[in-house]
Amino acid sequence: MDTLAGAVPVAEPRARRPRPAPITVTASAAARIADLIARAPETAAGVRLTTPKRGCSGLAYSLTYVTAAAPGDEAVATPGGTLFIDGGSLMYLIGSEMDWAEDDFAAGFVFTNPNAKGSCGCGESFTV
C-alpha cells in the first residue's frame, strides 16, 4: 500500500483469477473445429457460435467463419483453433458442452445445454 502524508491508504488492485470458459469443447469437437479452420479461407481467424432465432422452438446453434472477433465476443481457445461465442448468445450457452458426433446417417455438432428447457422433435432448435 502506498500512502502520502495525510492521504488515505489505497489498496493495490488484486490480480484477477482467470475465468473458466463459458462452454466445454470436447476433443472430437476441437478436432472438427481444427478441420473447419484448415479448410477456411486464409483470412479466417476462427469460427463463431451464435444462437439465431430459428426453428420451431425458437433458437438454433449456428457456426460461421470469422476474420476477427466482434465486440462482445467471448473467445474460447481450443486445441483446434479459436471458437468465438457471440455476446448476445453467451447467456444461452453458459455451462454447455459442445461435441462432434458421427454415425451411419448423420454427422454434426451436438450440444448439451443445461439452459435449454425444451427442443423440437428434430433437434434443430431449442428454447430457454
Average pLDDT over the chain reads 82
> pLDDT at position 29, please?
92
Higher per-residue confidence, 113 vs 19: 113
Mind listing the pLDDT tens digit for each residue in 69-109? 889 999 988 888 888 999 988 888 889 999 999 889 888 88
Amino acid letter, 67: T
Mind listing the pLDDT tens digit for each residue in 7-19? 666 667 777 777 7
- For domain 23-127, the CATH superfamily is HesB-like domain (2.60.300.12)
Taking the CB of residue 46, how many other CB atoms lie within 10 A of it? 24
74 vs 39, 42, 49, 93, 121, CA distance in Å?
Answer: 23, 22, 10, 11, 30
What's the whole-model pTM score? Answer: 0.76
Does 50 have pLDDT greater than 70?
yes
